[in-house]
A and B are shown apart, each in its own frame.
Chain A
Amino acid sequence: MEDFGSESFSEDRISSLPDCLLHHILSLLDTKEAVCTGILSSRWKNLWKSSLILNFHHQHYSSNTNSSNDDDDINEEQEEGDSEIESKEDDNDSENEEGDYKIGNENFFYESENEEEAEEERNFISFVKRSLALHNSPVIQKFRLSFKYSDRRFGFYVNDWILFAIERNVKELSLDFLHSSPHDYEVPSWLFNCHKLVSLKLKECSIQTPKSVSFSSLTTLFISDTEFDECMIQDILVGCPLLEELVLVRCYFEQDYELFICSSSPDPSKMMLKRLTIEKCDNSGLNVEAPKLEIMKISGSLMGKYSFNNLVSLKEAQLDFDSIEKDNNFGFPSLSVAEFHNATVLKLCSVCIQTEEESQMLHGFNEREYWDKLANQFTCLTCTLKTIEITGYIGQETELSDDSGNNIVTKVLQKIDNKIKFVRFLLRNAKVLEKMTIHIDKPHFVEEEEWPELAQKVAQDVEGKIKLSSGIPVELLFM
């Protein structure tokens, strides 16, 4: 390259950035990409070998994909939940395309296994092995691995790699097995006694209840797409005295398992848990008692008895149930949010105000009783609650749109009419409310092109009815 004009433009300033900055940059790349920068110049040749962060993502090694699809690395912590869901969906798609998973045919699957795939897996393994052999930093901060393997024996390599990281006092470990089942990677029990780990993320693997759990430094634990014993969670809560964040996504428990997130020690104030996320798990009921808990997000289907106790530090609660499921043992689910009285942000779905079974409501439903009961539940309304957000305002019923336009308007407005009472109830009872947001989704039975006009009518209608009751700003968002 010839330089033209200013001299400074022809000089390589990037390579003169300090090691720590270049390491930071390399840590955002897959280790394969980081290794490749070694060819740039002698300045770059050995940089990757002392990087404190190693990322091995199997999909970067397949011949038919290019390596630029890890979008969610920025602000990973904040978006963990969302990005997980997206990537999971992707996984499902690719699995369906392969189309080889057939129940009852498992024994044959691996014999007729795709040779190309196996080759890829072997390449990946040899890459990781060589990288680790050349890596020369005495400590590793983060070790991230995502690996989809079909040969059970490959799991042993994974154990070696984890050991490599642990011997270098790794603080953050993330393992994702990208739906390797039925040969699930079985997390070795010795991992559960790793005292230096601060953050552990396990995805799509199998966990046998370890003899003991002792993570004396662990503050963040993320488990997704995994099945485990009911006693595991208790062991974890006991064995992780510093645990501040627990995330469980699509975890499967034994049938009718009521999940207990409580301290087992006589002094519950020792429990450090500050953030709890439970997403689409199949627990029948939930019992949370965590005096330091600040943020709680629960989604999935409501089944069993949900009770909350001693949530004195709670600032934000999100409950988003997509369905109510009756359970043979517990009957109609029950949920009490009376404990959320300290929350300043409360996100609830309509299921949360369904205090009675529908059949009961039909036989002698007393409206006044209902509102009184609800007011007792929402004790937080009176003195602390400042933000209310209502989503899915119209509901998602699938009705055919063969009615005339007029009828649809009436239908939508009728649906809203029922709910306006609830909004009024909130506005009447929330003494320190600063803002209310109502998300109004397009109902299925309304055509896309009809929606803008209808939305306007809905807005007028809702605004007209709410304005009468209070001066609190209410924002309507149409989706």
Chain B
Amino acid sequence: MASTSNSTSSKIITLRSSDGEVFEVEESVALESNLIRRMMEDDCANNIIPLPNVTAPIFYLVIEHCKKHAEMKDNKEKKKELRSQGEELLKSDPHTYSNLMEAVNYLDIKSLMDLTAQWLADFLKGKSPRLIRELLKIKNDFTPEEEAEILERNRWAFD
């Protein structure tokens, strides 16, 4: 059993992204990730923790948002601001969004999972299917007949 000391002084954790970049992160930030928490519990030594599924640019984004999330506690304004940032990211770069979402899922960071999921949920609200497809590059693989049929069958939802 690992018994890391409970001292509040900020310990630094070293992590390595899949492309070999080394990050030094405060323990309090790193422990937001349940994956890292579990890894640290398993391995008492102060080694570098490898993150084979996360690239450096994405990991940088993750850390940045972890910090932002910690800041926004009890601050409704900041919370709103952070929540509204997803729209921009999804419009300009859905690819990075997906990578971020997967990294957050892999690292198992609940607060960021809720935030990033909310981003896409907000993004989907009130947009036409055509616009969503266009912005997210989703290929409409229905034949016109199939699409018409789905529309017809789900008419009750599309009012």
Binding site for B on A (CB under 8 A): 1, 8-18, 20-21, 24-26, 28-29, 32-33, 35-45, 61, 63, 66-68, 73-75, 123, 126-127, 130
Contact = CB atoms under 8 A, between A and B. Distances in A.
Given A25-B117, A26-B121, A39-B150, 18 more contacts: A9-B93, A11-B95, A12-B94, A16-B98, A17-B101, A17-B102, A21-B105, A28-B117, A35-B154, A36-B129, A36-B154, A41-B142, A42-B142, A63-B159, A74-B115, A74-B118, A123-B156, A127-B156
Contacts of A28: 117-118, 121
Interface of B: 79, 83, 93-95, 97-99, 101-102, 105, 113-115, 117-118, 120-122, 124-126, 129, 132-134, 136-142, 147, 150-151, 154, 156-159
Nearest to B111: A75
B156 A12 contact: no
Contacts of B158: 36, 39
A74 B76 CA distance: 11
Contacts of A126: 156
B80 to A, nearest CB: 8
Contact of B150 (A10, A38, A127, A130): A38
Per DSSP, are chain A's interface residues mostly helix, strand or loop, or mixed?
helix
16 contacts: A10-B137, A13-B94, A14-B137, A14-B138, A17-B101, A17-B102, A21-B105, A21-B117, A28-B118, A39-B151, A41-B138, A42-B141, A45-B150, A68-B122, A74-B79, A130-B156
A132 B114 CA distance: 26
B156 A40 contact: no
B121 A41 contact: no
Nearest to A63: B159
B125 A68 contact: yes
B126 A40 contact: no
A12 B125 contact: no
Contacts of B120: 14, 25
A33 B140 contact: no
Contact of A12 (B101, B115, B137, B147): B137
B132 A38 contact: no
A13 B98 contact: yes
A68 B126 contact: yes
Contacts of B126: 66-68
Contacts of A12: 94, 136-139
Given A29-B125, A36-B157, A36-B158, A74 B95 contact: no
A164 to B, nearest CB: 18
A121 to B, nearest CB: 14
Q: Which of A26, A39, A41 has the most CB of B within 10 A?
A: A39
A16 B156 CA distance: 28
Contacts of A73: 118
Contacts of A13: 94-95, 97-99
A14 B98 contact: yes
A10 B141 CA distance: 16
A74 B114 contact: yes
A428 B159 CA distance: 66
Nearest to A79: B76
Nearest to B102: A17
Nearest to A28: B121
Contacts of B141: 41-42
Contact of A24 (B117, B156, B159): B117
Contacts of B147: 39
B128 to A, nearest CB: 9
A127 B138 CA distance: 27
A33 B125 contact: yes
A92 to B, nearest CB: 22
B138 A25 contact: no
Given A13-B94, A14-B120, A25-B121, A127 B139 contact: no
The 6 closest A-B pairs by CB, nearest first: A13-B98, A28-B121, A35-B157, A12-B137, A24-B117, A39-B129
Contacts of A45: 150
A37 B98 CA distance: 17
Given A25-B121, A39-B147, A127 B157 contact: yes
Contacts of B115: 74
Contacts of B137: 1, 9-12, 14
B34 to A, nearest CB: 15
B150 A74 contact: no
Contacts of A18: 105
B124 A33 contact: yes
A447 B150 CA distance: 61
A32 B125 CA distance: 10
Nearest to A128: B156
Q: Which of A41, A44, A126 has the most CB of B within 10 A?
A: A41
B104 to A, nearest CB: 9
A74 B138 contact: no
Nearest to B105: A21
A41 B133 contact: yes
Contact of A39 (B118, B122, B154, B159): B154
Contacts of B140: 40-41
A18 B159 CA distance: 29
Contacts of B124: 25, 29, 33, 37
